[in-house]
Amino acid sequence: MNNKGLSKLLYCQEQLPIFQNRMYDTEEEAKACPKGDVWLVEDQLTGLVSNAHFRPELMVYDAHYQNEQALSPLFHEHLESVSQIIDRCVGRNSVVEVGCGKGFFLEMLLSKGLDVTGFDPAYEGDNPRILKHYFDSGVGIKANGLVLRHVLEHVQDPFDFLLQLKEANGGNGKIYIEVPCFEWICRHRAWFDIFYEHVNYFRISDFHRMFGTVIESGRLFGDQYLYVVADLATIRKPEMNLNDRVVFPENFTGNLFQQGPAEPNPAAIWGGASKGVIFSLLKARSGHPVSTVIDINPAKQGKYLPAVGLLVKLPQDALAMLPKGSPIYVMNSNYLDEIKMMSNNAYQYIEVDHD
């Protein structure tokens, strides 16, 4: 409990990189990256789960932050599914994407004929449909629907943020929200999916308590993500439901010491994004480090992962140095078939997100 007795401690992990997708030019710089502690708590008033040690002033995103997943055909299929939900439930006219990042998904929606405007102060492109500032009441746009993909988990006070979006949009409109699924993380004991920059962890039931009207909800991307489409006008302060408390698994990190053969056999991870950063860091701390990181994203290749300081290599370079039959930890089993194809099915593939 915290000193007010209003939060239940679920999990803690010290000194994780504050940006797991921030890439570095040298090993030394990567190892010296800013770090912070994670104390995951369940609020006993709202039932929401968050990191009690999160410091928002540390979170300054810049061009070194690389989280683009759309290079994968499988993830592209996921975005296609999301676009269909938005088309069906939110509509095609007057749509705003809040926190549109590098604009890939917005470009997809535009190509499908949706009337969409994006907002993101960190946007680096030149599409006039994307405005490089926050969406607020001063922008002069009232949308029929808002799209909020993988933004809410980064915001310290998600309820207040949603209230601000409601006000900015004139008090109404539909909203599509997509976030990681906390129930999936718990069920799979996915300790590598707990990040410092993800201050919040949601269940679908959280949004049913947060909105009076949920139009549609479900799970996506192998159940790793959840989504809701809700009526912004019906937002309300969530209250804890004692019959729906978080069920957090005992021995959450138990499989950290069980996966894969004992080193010194060379081992690689495939996926130098969020999961790979936390996985390689905690494996190293447990005395079972991996030696190689593989990623298909050119923006990551030749750079170093934060905290652990491993060099990210493109597949052909890494596999040329990795003996056939060596273990490859697959950071996301959704990509297993892609990975096997790219590596000629010549290795021992360990799906870290399967029990």
Distance separating alpha carbons of residues 108 and 79, to the nearest angstrom: 8
What is the share, in percent, of the chain residues with pLDDT greater than 90? 78
Quick one: 77 and 88 in the same domain? yes
Quick one: 79 and 186 in the same domain? yes
223: region left, alpha or beta (phi > 0 left; psi from -120 to 50 alpha): left
Residue 248 per-residue DSSP state: P
- Count of Cβ atoms closer than 10 Å to residue 306 Cβ: 25
Domain extent for 340? 255-351
Q: Give me the chain's average pLDDT, please.
A: 91
Q: pLDDT, tens digit, for every residue of 155-203?
A: 999 999 999 999 999 999 999 999 999 999 999 999 999 999 999 999 9
- Count of Cβ atoms closer than 10 Å to residue 74 Cβ: 15
- Count of Cβ atoms closer than 10 Å to residue 309 Cβ: 19
Average pLDDT of 42-58? 95
**Banded pLDDT at 61 (limits 50, 70, 90):** low
User: What confidence score (pLDDT) does residue 4 get?
Assistant: 46
**Banded pLDDT at 66 (limits 50, 70, 90):** low
Quick one: 158 and 267 in the same domain? no
User: What confidence score (pLDDT) does residue 294 get?
Assistant: 97
Domain boundary among 199, 233, 252: 252
Quick one: 234 and 290 in the same domain? no
Select from 20, 13, 10 the least CA-distant residue to 273: 20
**Banded pLDDT at 2 (limits 50, 70, 90):** very low
Quick one: 306 and 317 in the same domain? yes
Q: pLDDT, tens digit, for every residue of 231-274?
A: 999 999 999 999 999 999 998 998 776 555 454 568 999 999 89
Quick one: 262 and 243 in the same domain? no
CATH of the domain at 218: 3.40.50.150
Quick one: 153 and 278 in the same domain? no
**Is residue 39 over pLDDT 70?**
yes
Quick one: 121 and 64 in the same domain? yes
**In terms of DSSP H, where are the helices of the chain?**
27-31, 73-89, 104-111, 158-168, 182-187, 204-210, 274-285, 315-321, 336-342
Quick one: 19 and 135 in the same domain? yes
Number of domains in the chain: 2
CATH of the domain at 309: 3.40.50.720
Q: pLDDT, tens digit, for every residue of 294-334?
A: 999 998 999 999 999 999 999 999 999 999 999 999 999 99
